[in-house]
Structures are given as structure tokens and as C-alpha cells.
Amino acid sequence: MKRKTKAKLQKRLGIVFCSLVYMFLFLPISVIVVNSMNATTSKPYLSWKGFTLDWYVKLFDNSSLLSSFGNTMIIALVSTLLATIIGTLGAVGMYKYKFRGKSIIDGLLYIPVVIPEIVLGISLLTIFSKVSIPRGMLTLILAHVTFCVPFVIFNVRARLDGYDNSIEEASMDLGANRVTTFFEITLPVLAPGIAGGALLAFTLSIDDVIISYFVNGQTKTYPLKVMESIKSGVAPDVNALSTLILLATVILVVLTQSDLLKRREK
């Protein structure tokens, strides 16, 4: 009886603990969703005045907000593509070939990851000023590629740790050249690591504030637009757009998980 009582108590404590953790994680998100349906029109938009969906309609009249979101998506997609290509080629090259200074380069890859973002932002701003590159979309993409490449390399290299080089040798023994072997053999094997690195790079790019603040010029991204609106209170239309982004993310995760479950069942 004592064991059963102890087991029940542990189970209940586990449920309470997990509930508190999930509340801590998702309560701020739920506040954004709720405020996107707030009928208030007075700043700082914190008092509840009733339920409405008008902000989801007014959202499409806010051209500056939509423009900033469009800039964010363009920067994220372009920087993710470039970072994925550079990171994949870099990871494969450093895995296959030995050269002088390789260990130093390995160590340098961690610098953009571990240093404070404000230091990286100031460094990039200084470089762009020295070479006379006007701040804007180009500098934002270059900056995002800079801090995204190491994350792609780390993901691809983790996939390469269990890679069997003999399959490439077998491919070339059967008549395939190096290019064909890379696209037909190496790339499919590395695909999960590449996809993971690309998703991580996209998430980091779309979410960046500090580095973008230093190199944006007149080009506003969605995070910077939200940061500006904090001074006068985040408007419900901003919360509405954030809710739509959250909804799209949840749908993507559900579809991905359901696809994985179907594959496992097969």
C-alpha cells in the first residue's frame, strides 16, 4: 500500500511540475493571442475592452507592418539558402580533406556562436562602413549569412560523423564521377543534417533583432518593427500578425509530425 501511495504521489507531483513548466512556456504566447482579439483602441492596448476580430482585417491596411514582414521573409529565405550552400560545402570539405590550419578554422567557427550578438553587430557595422557598403537589404543578408553558416556546418558535420566513405568509393568504382557521386550518394545521406541546419538558420534569421539593428539602415524587419512599437505599446494588429505566424508554425509542425508517424508505421 505504501508503494502504491508513493507512486500515486510521484505521479501527481510529476503532473503538477509538467503543468507549471508548460504554463511558464506557453502563457506569454497565449497573452499575444488573446490581445490580438482585444477591442481596445487606446494606448498602451493593455486593458481588455471586449472580443473582436477586426484587427485581423485592419492588419492588411498596415502597409509598413506588412512591408517589414515581407523584408524579414526575403532576408530569411535568401540568407538561409546561401548559408546552407556555404555551410554544407564547408562541412564536407573540412571532413574530407586535411590541410594546415584546419584545427584553427574549426575553433574559429565557434566565435560567431559564442560571442555576444552586440559585439558581432558592431563588428559587421564597422566592416560595412570601412568598405563603403550602404546599409540595407544587402548588409542584412550578409550579416545573417555570417552568423547562420556555423550552425549549418555543425548540423552537417554531426551527420558526417557516422558517414561511410566506402559508398562513395563504390559509386566511383561503378563509373560515376565525383560530381555525380556527390549529388546521387553524398547529398541524400546528408539531407537530414542539411535540412536541420537550414531550419535552424531560417529560425535564427527570422528572429534576429540585435545584429539587424546595427546593419539595417532604412530597411525595417518585422522584429525591429515590433521593437519600435514597444515604446508606445504593441498594437493588436502586431499581435494579430504574430498569431498568424504562430498558427502557420503549428500547422507546419503538425504536418511534419504526422508525416514522420506515417513513415514509422510503414
Query: Residue 145: its pLDDT value, please?
Result: 94
Residue 199: inside a domain: yes
**CATH number, domain with residue 164:** 1.10.3720.10
Mean pLDDT of the chain: 85
Residue 41: inside a domain: no
Residue 256: inside a domain: no
- At residue 259 the predicted structure's pLDDT band, cuts being 50, 70 and 90, is low
Query: Residue 263: its pLDDT value, please?
Result: 67
Residue 25: inside a domain: no
Q: Any idea which of 41-45, 57-61, 166-170 has the lowest mean pLDDT?
A: 41-45
**Residues 6 or more apart from 153 whose CB is under 8 A from it?**
87, 90, 91, 94, 109, 197
Residue 31: inside a domain: no
Span 22-39, average pLDDT: 86
Given phi > 0 = left and psi -120 to 50 = alpha, else beta, which region is 233? left
Residue 32: inside a domain: no
Task: State pTM to two decimals.
Answer: 0.84
The domain tally of the chain equals 1
CA distance 180 to 178: 6
pLDDT (tens digit per residue) in 183-201: 888 888 888 889 889 989 9
Percent of the chain clearing pLDDT 70 (strictly above): 95
pLDDT (tens digit per residue) in 225-246: 888 877 767 778 888 888 888 8
Q: Say which residue the cell 506515417 belongs to.
A: 262
Query: Residue 1: its pLDDT value, please?
Result: 56
